[in-house]
Amino acid sequence: MTCQIKSFFTAMAAAFLGLAILTGCTASHYRKSADKDVYSIIQSAEKEVFGRTNVFDISTPYSGRNPKEIPSTEILNDRMREGARMLSLEDALNLSVTNSRTYQAQKERLYLTALTLTGNRHEFRPNWFGRSSVDGDRLSNGERLGSVRSSAGFSQTLMTGGTIGASIANDLLRYYTGDPRRSAVTTISVNLLQPVLRGFGKNHPSVEALTQAERNVIYAVRDFSYFQNSFAIDVVADYFSLLAQKDVVRNRYTNYLSRVQATERLVARSQDRESASGVDQARQAELTSKNAYVNAVAQYENSLDQFKIALGLPVTEKIYLDDSLLRELERTGPIPLELDPSQAFKVAVAKQLPTLNAIDQFEDAKRKVRVAADRLRADINILADASLQSEGPTDYTKFDPDDIRAGVGVQLNLPFDRLRERNSYRATLITFESQIRNLGLTFDTMKENIDRGLRTLELRRQTFEIQRNALELANRRVESATLLLQAGRAEVRDLVEAQDAQISAQNAVTAALVGYQDQRLLLLLQLGVIETESSKFWLKDHLTPELRLNSGPMQTATADRIIPPDELFTK
């Protein structure tokens, strides 16, 4: 008999373990299931916010592999790979989307926000469960018995704030002493709890948590879209900054060669017409220009390495940039951006994504006050349940519907002690007033950013014009100083000063042009009107007709006159 008991429990344990294995799912299945739910949520949110959807996927080359199979040496080898490529700006933008660590982190942040929502939604769906346990006992009289307890059912939170559950439970008790007595009971039960005062409907904490989680996904979608535009602008700014540094390197090298030639001419003339001090001065200028060139090369290479890291490329890979983009920008010149400041602010309020989030978060704060106030009320809950047991002590295959046991009741909890709820409500009111100030600050900051952006843009436009004129003047000075020095009518110092002014002006023109473009793109981003998905978006206007000045261009945009202080500081 003892062997039979052992065999029984062994068989039941094996069956129980096998059932758990068979009904469970693989880790890969759960991952795919999570991705499916999350991607669907994100696409729905994008459709709601933008009226369209984009392809969204956080997978990387390592995503489908077992973490145990990825050694650190593989990552090291990947970062040490060598190669060379010509990298256009479009290539850089595409690579940044797939390789950038920052971009990937932002995608994962959006994914995790949507993943949190799946947990909140799960609470409002039937949550199924199935449990079973097997055990054995030996009674004091030597009798042995085995017990199998199983239950299955579901529970679900309702949008009304209530909860409903149903289950079927089986308790089988069997003696193993040769006595054929058996005891088996199966019970089907249903229960319901519904608040009718505190916590009813949208004021229930779980319903509010679901609402907030859905709003958080909307905010995350907006934040990610804003990040995409900002990130693309940063890539463009970095690319043109590197092109400007390349231009500086070339200017420094040309300047160095001209200094070498000047020194050679002075050495040739030092036999009869040029003083030794003049030659030394030329050589000193030559060494200074050589040092400036070496520093420019080092600065460019350092910036290039930082650009590789930003794109997610190995630092060991050689990349070459397309100089034609800078030539194209030089031909285009500063693209005008004449805006009506007041209208621009109104458009930014309606279109800038972070501001839309701030407005909606202000509404969230209002909702939190309402929910916190509801927690001060009394609890009145309606409870209902029903159950049905199988017929007889041993037959659990038959049920008599007339034997249903049902009950209903009302549960009352008077609000005698609401100290914690009171404190929470008061804190929520303070948070709401803080949110009022934050929203006001958001509007003030946006208006200041737009006004300052317009002023900075105009400043950089005028700087470009000034530096372009300065370059023309510097070129004439170098030509004149060279001729006068050859004729013996000027000193070496005059040529050195002219060459210094020339190299400074050359670099300043490029820097001013690139700086203007950076500021223009940043201003368009602040207005919420830039479309970085379009081809060569950095050269496009992006302005809608309602944003343009209605009364002609601003005076500062066309007249480069210097305004006297009295005109600035008085009416």
pLDDT at 400: 65
Number of domains in the chain: 2
Q: 26: Cβ–Cβ under 8 A, 6 or more apart, which residues?
A: none
Domain with 171 in it: 127-158+162-198+379-413
pLDDT at 557: 41
CATH number for 565: 1.20.1600.10
- Residues 351 and 499 reside in one and the same domain: yes
pLDDT band at 566 (very low <50, low <70, confident <90, very high): confident
Task: Answer whether residue 438 is part of any domain.
Answer: yes
pLDDT band at 397 (very low <50, low <70, confident <90, very high): low
Question: Which range among 326-330, 400-404, 460-464 shows the weakest confidence by mean pLDDT?
Answer: 400-404
Q: 219: Cβ–Cβ under 8 A, 6 or more apart, which residues?
A: 113, 357, 360, 361
pLDDT at 4: 43
| Average pLDDT for 42-54 | 94
| Average pLDDT for 93-113 | 96
- Residues 351 and 488 reside in one and the same domain: yes
**Which carries the bigger pLDDT value, residue 302 or residue 569?**
302
Environment class of 369 (CB within 10 Å of its CB; exposed 0-12, middle 13-18, buried 19+):
middle
pLDDT at 559: 46
pLDDT band at 399 (very low <50, low <70, confident <90, very high): low
pLDDT band at 293 (very low <50, low <70, confident <90, very high): very high
* Per-residue pLDDT tens over the stretch 357-367: 999 999 999 99
- Residues 248 and 289 reside in one and the same domain: yes
Percent of the chain scored above 70 by pLDDT? 86
Task: Answer whether residue 232 is part of any domain.
Answer: yes
- Residues 396 and 439 reside in one and the same domain: no
Per the DSSP assignment, residues forming a β-bridge with 149 are 133, 171
**141 close to 175: Cβ distance less than 8 angstroms:** no
- Residues 443 and 482 reside in one and the same domain: yes
- Residues 452 and 319 reside in one and the same domain: yes
Tell whether the model's pLDDT for residue 535 goes beyond 60: yes
Task: Answer whether residue 173 is part of any domain.
Answer: yes
- Residues 394 and 456 reside in one and the same domain: no
- Residues 409 and 446 reside in one and the same domain: no
Residue in the structure block whose two tokens are 């944003």 = 547
- Residues 246 and 339 reside in one and the same domain: yes
Exposure on the CB side of residue 181, measured as CA atoms within 13 A: 6
pLDDT band at 175 (very low <50, low <70, confident <90, very high): low
pLDDT at 443: 96
pLDDT band at 132 (very low <50, low <70, confident <90, very high): confident
pLDDT at 485: 75
Long-range contacts (CB closer than 8 Å, 24 or more residues apart) made by 177-180: 177/1, 177/142, 177/143, 177/144, 178/1
**Which carries the bigger pLDDT value, residue 148 or residue 439?**
439
- Residues 385 and 474 reside in one and the same domain: no
- Residues 187 and 282 reside in one and the same domain: no
Task: Answer whether residue 394 is part of any domain.
Answer: yes
Mean pLDDT across the chain:
86
Task: Answer whether residue 105 is part of any domain.
Answer: no
pLDDT band at 1 (very low <50, low <70, confident <90, very high): very low
- 497-513 as b/e, with b when 16 or more CB fall inside 10 Å? ebbbbbbbbbbbbbbbb
**42 close to 114: Cβ distance less than 8 angstroms:** yes
At CA 186, angle to CA 184 and CA 187, rounded to 5?
Answer: 145
Tell whether the model's pLDDT for residue 208 goes beyond 90: yes
Task: Answer whether residue 544 is part of any domain.
Answer: yes
Taking the C-alpha atoms of residue 313 and residue 82, their distance in angstroms, rounded to an integer, is 10
| Average pLDDT for 526-538 | 93
SS3 (DSSP) at 479:
helix
Sheet with 127-138: list strands edge to edge. 127-138, 144-157, 163-175, 182-195, 379-389, 405-413
Q: Count CB atoms within 10 A of the CB of residue 329.
A: 21
| Average pLDDT for 159-176 | 81
**What tokens does 63 get?**
């995503």
* Per-residue pLDDT tens over the stretch 137-167: 777 776 677 777 888 899 999 999 999 999 9
Question: Which range among 150-154, 276-280, 442-446 shows the weakest confidence by mean pLDDT?
Answer: 276-280
pLDDT band at 6 (very low <50, low <70, confident <90, very high): very low
| Average pLDDT for 234-239 | 97
Task: Answer whether residue 37 is part of any domain.
Answer: no
pLDDT at 64: 84
* Per-residue pLDDT tens over the stretch 466-519: 999 999 999 999 888 888 877 777 777 788 888 888 999 999 999 999 999 999
Percent of the chain scored above 90 by pLDDT? 62
- Residues 330 and 400 reside in one and the same domain: no
Which amino acid belongs to residue 202?
Answer: K
* Residue 403 DSSP class: G
Task: Answer whether residue 59 is part of any domain.
Answer: no
pLDDT at 10: 46
First-to-last alpha carbon distance for the chain, in angstroms, is 110
Q: H/E element holding 347?
A: helix 341-351
* Residue 387 DSSP class: E
